[in-house]
Every structure is written in C-alpha cells, then in structure tokens.
Structure 1
Amino acid sequence: MRVISQILLLFAGSFVFSQKQIHIELKAPSFENDSLFLVFPTVSKSVTSLFAMNLKGNNKNVRSFANSKGAVISVQSQNTISGTFQCPMPMMMMAPSKDGQNGFQNSKVFFIENGILKIEVSDKDLTLVLPPDAIINKDYKRLKEYLHQADEKLKPFEKNNPEDVKNKEKLLQTYIKNNPESYPAFWEIVDDFSKYGFHKDYLSALPLFSKKLKTSSCFKDFEKILYIENSTNVGGNFPEIDFGTEGNITKATFSDHKLTLIDYWSTTCKPCIEGLPELVKLYGKYKDKGVNFISVADEKTQPRMELANKIFRKNNVSWKNYFDPAKEFSKKLNAAGYPLYILVDGNGKIVSREVDRQETLESVIEKHLN
C-alpha cells in the first residue's frame, strides 16, 4: 500500500547539534482510547531519505511501528509527542477510514516547527486546528493559496503537460525570491519532484533560498539527489555500475550497439512481469538492427534471484539480467520506481528515461534509430 510503503520514514538516530527540538501537544477527543498515526506525506521512494524525526523514549502512549518507520499514538485526553528533527518538515495525521472498509484517511498537511506546537484533531474527518501563531504553518497556507490554480492543472504520479509543470515552478521561484527562508517552498519543490518527475527548474530554484536554509541537512541532501538525477537524465552519461561477481556496465558496454535499452525491474513489480512478453517481442524486432537489451533486477536474496531467473526463463528472455544487491544502480541513477526504461546510445549518452511507459518504447527506439 502506497500510504504505508512510500509516505513515511521515522527512525531513531543520534542527536547532533543541528537538530531542532519538537514538542507536539495533541488533542483528539474524537479518537480518545483509539489510535492515530503520525506520518509523512505521500512521496516517491527517491526522497523518503529526506524525512527523519527522532522520537524521544519517554513519549507516553507513543510508539514506533513498521520497523520504526512510523509512529502510532494511543490517544488520551492529553497527548505529548517530543523529539528532535533536522528542519521544519511536512507531516499528516492518519487513521482508518470511518467506515472501516476503505483503507486509511489522512488529515491535511501541517508542518512541525521548533518549540511547542499545539494541534487539535477536531473530528473523525481529521480536521486539524493549528495555533494562529504557528509561523511556518501560516507560510504553508499562504503558499498553497498562491499556487492553487497551478496545482489544479497537475495530477500526482501521472504524466503531465510539461508547460503546466514549468508554469508552477516559475510561480514557485517568484515566491522564493520574496520568501527566501520559506521551508514550505523548499518542501514544495521536493513534493513536485516526487509527484511530477525531474525538471531542471528545480535546480534553478535552489540558489534562491537563504544561506541559513541552505545549511540544513534537508536542503543539502535534496540538492545531492537533484544533481544525481540531472547528471543521469536525458543528455547525461550513463554511469559505470559494478554488480560485483555479476559483472558490470561500463561505457564499453554500449559501444558495440546503436542503442541499448536498460530495463530496471523487480519480482514484486506486477507491471514489470506483465510487460515482459512485449519486451521480448521488441527485442526480437530490433536485436538485428543494432539494439541491445539489458535488465537489472532490484533483488538481493537468493529466493528472489531464483524467482527472477524463473520468470525470465518462462518468458524466453535471452538478454543479460544483472542483480543489484548493493543498490549500485538505484544509488547512481536515483532509481525510485519500476519498471524504469533507460535508452542509451553507442557513446553511453542517455537519450530517453521513462518510468512505467512501456507503450512508448517502440516509437522512442524508432526515433533514435532514425
């Protein structure tokens, strides 16, 4: 479930001087003697590492769940959540749906801030009441009102009109110029990257923030993610990947072929497996025209590797499949979803990069062959 697997990352860690103190005083009378979850917004796997909050061990009625990747609150009349965080960041309250049959429902996004933050969940719909003096939350409300019309044209985790994305980023850059210390504006870029994919406008926006904001670990870590994404996007060079005893991918891998299609997949990815027969057909059509195929499976355990090989044998796959136990591929290419198709020319330059867009592969191959 995306809500559980992608939206949050809460983990315990060592205290460092740059961390801020968090102290949430929560009231949720409609959920008394029930449970609420403290979670991060829905994001792609590529940015979950940015979200981190250390809960202190003396939080009464608050405990971690899902291998410390979330926090569950056993709601009492008064609830205190304390800990540390690297920088102000967005969060949500989550609870089972009211009918108990349709998964989970989420509150609107709010920001944790330094110091005491008093929050009330006023009803079973998870309506939040925040204090009027919560500066960062006021900034977030103002930002979302400013971006409302641009947001209305965009659909999360879908293919959007590039001009609509560009229009939003222009508005966002104007906001940052006027509000260079706005953490909500920074996290809006993170959110856009997660939901709409990489755009060079994100890199243009980062220098507009204040020196103070740029010193935060959140900013520095995201900047690294964008630089990796930029260098391995269309026009960039495919990096060398070492798969250990499995072998490697180097620039020489591509030199004997006009094009090479890299297929990044997993045995847990249903579209990856269902799409294999079509990939086999494409390979049969283009292998004698100078197009090579390589698959990289995001698997590290022996049972999963054996399953991957079984799936390939069943579909008569004859091209090379590598395993990536050390996560070399995902780290160097910031690969966050499956299936990921990367088309590389004979010089090792990336000419196409698409997630879950198999239906366009043939036209893309034809375009670059011609």
Structure 2
Amino acid sequence: MLFFLFSGIFSIGVASAQLPNVTLKTIDGKTVNTDTLKNDGKPFIIDFFATWCKPCNRELDAIAEVYDDWKEETGVKIYTVSIDQAQNINKVKPLVSNHSWEYDVLLDPNSDFKRALGIQTIPFVLICDGKGNIVYKHNGYTDGAEEELIEKVRELIK
C-alpha cells in the first residue's frame, strides 16, 4: 500500500518533481548525491541500465552515435545509472569502455535511487530541465526512441 501511494504521488507531480537525495558512486569511486545532479542550467538525461540488459545497451549505443551532435546543438548531458548488483559492479567499467560511452556513469548497486523514483523496469529514462526538475520519463526501448528524447530536450531549450 505504501509503495502504491508513493508511486501515485510521484506520477501526479512529475512535471515539478525534484530528484530524490540518494548517495551513489561514480565508476571512479567518487561520491555523488543525486539531488545535486545538474548541467549548468541546461537539460540533462538520466538513463537507468544494467550490463545484462540488451535493450539498455542498444539504447545507450544508439544515443552514443548522436551524443556529440546532441551536446553541440542543445548542451544536454547524460548520466547513466547502473543498477547492477554489487557482485556484477566490476562489469560496468569494462562495458562502458568497450562501447566507448562518454556518459557520466553512476552506480546504484542496491537500487536505492531506482526505488526512490518508483522505477519498476529498465531501460528507464528521465529528462530533467535546467533546474533539475523531472519533466519527462520513459521506460523500455525500441529502435529510434532516442529521437523522442532529443525532441523533448529541444522543447526545453526553446
């Protein structure tokens, strides 16, 4: 019942929802508080993934192909959040390197951040405006879905 109540509140207030405060680590071991994620007043994307999730990897590969163009056009930044559990966390850095992903990678081995946002399935993407408000969310991936993401970002910078 409590979970249902929380997720209902979250979905109602998504247009103005702030990121919850959860402490995560980067793949380089630095500590990051999720409520301080930002991009110099520009929109940013948070993409939840796991090393074993094929649709997640396809999505992040597709975005990687256009990420430089997106940054140049809109200034958008992408944070990826691995939900791999502690025993698999050592697979994240090699995966990121092998795919040449140039994202800021955060580790959520206990799914604290994922749970705080009420996320059930991955891949799951959030778009935040320049103030850090969650303004869009999407789960699942189909080829070409990344175009919807950049369109939402373009709307935010108009």
Normalised-by-shorter TM-score class: 0.7 to 0.9
Residue identity matched to 2:46? I
After TM superposition, list the pairs within 5 Å mapping 1:166-177 onto structure 2: none
| CA deviation after TM superposition for structure 1 residue 271, in Å | 0.6
After TM superposition, list the pairs within 5 Å mapping 1:109-258 onto structure 2: 218=1, 220-231=2-13, 233-243=14-24, 246-258=30-42
SS at match of 1:285: helix
Residue identity matched to 2:7? I
Candidates 118, 126, 131, aligned match of 1:334:
118
Residue identity matched to 1:234? A
Return the structure number with greater relative CO, CA threshold 8 A, min gap 6.
2
What is the TM-score of this pair, normalised by structure 2? 0.81
Alignment match, 1:301: 86
Alignment match, 1:157: none
Candidates 37, 41, 47, aligned match of 1:263:
47
- Kindly indicate whether the alpha-carbon contact (under 8 Å) linking 1:257 and 1:292 is maintained by their aligned counterparts in 2: no
Alignment match, 1:286: 70
Alignment match, 1:275: 59
The percent of aligned pairs where both chains have the same amino acid is 21
Residue identity matched to 1:225? S
Deviations along 1:302-354, one digit per CA (max 9) or x if unpaired, are 4x223222221111112211111232212210111111110111211112111
SS at match of 1:363: helix
Greater gyration radius: 1
Alignment match, 1:367: 155
How many residues align? The count is 150
Q: What is the alpha-carbon root mean square deviation over aligned residues?
A: 2.1
Deviations along 1:216-250, one digit per CA (max 9) or x if unpaired, are xx4x442233224444x233112222115542244
Deviations along 1:156-209, one digit per CA (max 9) or x if unpaired, are xxxxxxxxxxxxxxxxxxxxxxxxxxxxxxxxxxxxxxxxxxxxxxxxxxxxxx
SS at match of 1:254: coil
Residue identity matched to 1:236? A
- Unpaired segments of 5 or more residues in structure 2? none
What is the TM-score of this pair, normalised by structure 1? 0.37
